[in-house]
Chains A and B, each alone.
Chain A
Amino acid sequence: MATQDSVTGLVEPLLAGNRRALARAISQVEDEAADSHALLAALYPHTGRSHIVGVTGAPGTGKSTLVNALARAFRGEGKTVGIIAVDPTSPFSGGALLGDRVRMRDLAGDPGVFIRSMATRGSLGGLARATGDALSVLDAAGFDRILVETVGVGQAEIDIAAAAHTTVVVEAPGLGDEVQAIKAGVLEIADVFAVNKADRDGADHTMMALQMMQGLAPATQGHHRPASGHGHAEPGAQGDGSWLPPIVKTVAVRGEGVAQLAGWIERHREYLAATGQLSRREEARAANTLDHILRDRLLAELTQRLPDGYLRQVAGEIARREHDPYSVVDRILSAYGCP
């Protein structure tokens, strides 16, 4: 069978470490090619060994440079590193300019590193829809650590938390005040904070704002931590089994603080394994993946059953206030939905 051949044609060399096969396989899942589901099925038993680290933060905080520096730190410990760098697709042209490699040129020529740029292709949560599948492909290819750099995010693009084991939220001085720091969203998903560009004015202020935000959280050990100064709970694993995200100052371009950041990522990995959180996160990841696939498939199946132009026609009816959207959906589901 042709499909079987082309799938196994990629699977075996990929598992044997062939980089061309790896690159082709990522394209297959990214393009949702006809064979991509069979490919992922064949690779899935080989996944589950990589530690996946998400790196997220606002545009210009230095995510790419930090990913570059972290990859070097992991390489220094002899670990292989896969990188997925996500940049936005233009909602107008459908094209994208993927420029994260510019900051990762230090990694060129290292056979223990594989970098892939991905465009979001319409996805809004900070990752591409196929990022999860691309992670599975890199995982199967045997990388010890996978770094995922999200698009520059605002406040609520938190898909990365469901895709990664450890999420690093990158802040930089001068981006906002304490009120920004206590808003919901991206800051809540951090397992580790990096205050990058820490050589700039305002770095201490940013540190303090983050510490204060943590101080406002419900006490984890029966007492509130003060907003600043002495008497903090030590960051990291707490006595009650929870995790207090450490805040690490970095200057990624000079590599400062990067070893410490990499160290905290490793400690978080150990914490996840020791507390059983890892299997809980894996289950949550699986549930999230399942949810996405089900939604896509159900929508695709339903859309296929609709007559040509039907959705546009009823959208017009809704826009002209002839019907409300909920009644239209009820009508669609009773006429075309699953029996």
Chain B
Amino acid sequence: MADRKIRVLVAKPGLDGHDRGAKVVARALRDAGMEVIYTGIRQTPEMIAEAALQEDVDVVGLSILSGAHMALCPRIIELLRGQGLDDVVVLVGGIIPDDDVAPLREMGVKGVFGPGTSTQDIIDFIRREKGEPAPA
């Protein structure tokens, strides 16, 4: 009777308070059958890493619109790895300049989703990463 669900932490690090995008993604992932832990705005990297650990999530989705992604992402990834959360898939959505995508991937960000991304792309990406087939 194993009932494994993909668990996703959706968090907004940094100081901007625009959480509509994060909420749209959270809702879409819920509707795709995932368990979404939504933590709200103005999360510190420490809060995000702590919540990821306690909630034992498979995926951490970060929404960053402030331009601080090059500072926040490496810090969050460092904290996750420091707690032994090596398998957690880190995704970033928001306003990310093209030039930053390759460095972010190098830091360990698996997926970068800019404006105009369809939520289905994010769902498919997560399912692929977690080796779960899309439901028929």
Judging by beta carbons under 8 Å apart, are A32 and B1 in contact?
yes
A110 CB to nearest B CB, Å: 9
Bound-state Cα–Cα, A119 to B40, Å: 18
- In the complex with contacts A99-B38, A108-B47, A109-B46, A19-B30 CB distance below 8 A: no
Q: Which residues of B contact A19 (CB under 8 A)?
A: 53-54
- In the complex with contacts A99-B38, A115-B54, A94-B1 CB distance below 8 A: no
Q: Which residues of A contact B39 (CB under 8 A)?
A: 101-102, 105
Would you list which residues of chain B between 21 and 75 have a CB under 8 Å from chain A? 26-27, 29-40, 43-44, 46-47, 50-51, 53-56
Bound-state Cα–Cα, A172 to B3, Å: 36
Q: Which residues of A contact B5 (CB under 8 A)?
A: 31, 94-95, 119, 121
Bound-state Cα–Cα, A77 to B46, Å: 25
Judging by beta carbons under 8 Å apart, are A96 and B36 in contact?
yes
Which of B3, B32, B50, B83 is the one whose CB lies under 8 Å from A108? B50
Bound-state Cα–Cα, A296 to B3, Å: 14
Of A21-29, A231-239, A257-265, A305-313, the segment with at least 4 beta carbons within 8 Å of chain B is A21-29
A59 CB to nearest B CB, Å: 16
Interface string of A8-39 (1 = CB under 8 A from B): 00000000000110011011000111100000
Which of B1, B35, B54 is the one whose CB lies under 8 Å from A119? B35
A217: interface (CB < 8 Å):
no
B134: interface (CB < 8 Å):
no
Q: Which residues of A contact B131 (CB under 8 A)?
A: none
Interface size on A, residues (CB 8 A): 32
Q: Which residues of A contact B32 (CB under 8 A)?
A: 93, 95
A114: interface (CB < 8 Å):
yes
Judging by beta carbons under 8 Å apart, are B38 and A31 in contact?
no
Q: Which residues of A contact B31 (CB under 8 A)?
A: 90, 93, 95
B2: interface (CB < 8 Å):
yes
Would you list which residues of chain A between 85 and 115 have a CB under 8 Å from chain B? 89-90, 93-99, 101-102, 105, 108-109, 114-115
A75: interface (CB < 8 Å):
no
Would you list which residues of chain A between 36 and 54 have a CB under 8 Å from chain B? none
Which of B4, B36, B43, B44 is the one whose CB lies under 8 Å from A95? B36
B97: interface (CB < 8 Å):
no
Among residues of B, the one whose C-beta sits closest to the C-beta of A102 is B40
Q: Which residues of A contact B46 (CB under 8 A)?
A: 108-109
Which of B33, B37, B38, B53 is the one whose CB lies under 8 Å from A20? B53
Which of A26, A97, A109 is the one whose CB lies under 8 Å from B38? A97
Which of A32, A95, A96 is the one whose CB lies under 8 Å from B3? A32
Among residues of A, the one whose C-beta sits closest to the C-beta of B28 is A95
Q: Which residues of A contact B1 (CB under 8 A)?
A: 32, 296, 300
Known: A102-B38, A109-B50. 13 other contacts (CB 8 A): A20-B53, A26-B56, A31-B2, A31-B4, A90-B31, A93-B31, A95-B30, A95-B36, A96-B35, A101-B51, A102-B39, A117-B55, A119-B35
Q: Which 8 A-B pairs have the closest CB atoms?
A: A95-B30, A102-B40, A23-B56, A94-B33, A108-B47, A27-B56, A95-B33, A97-B30
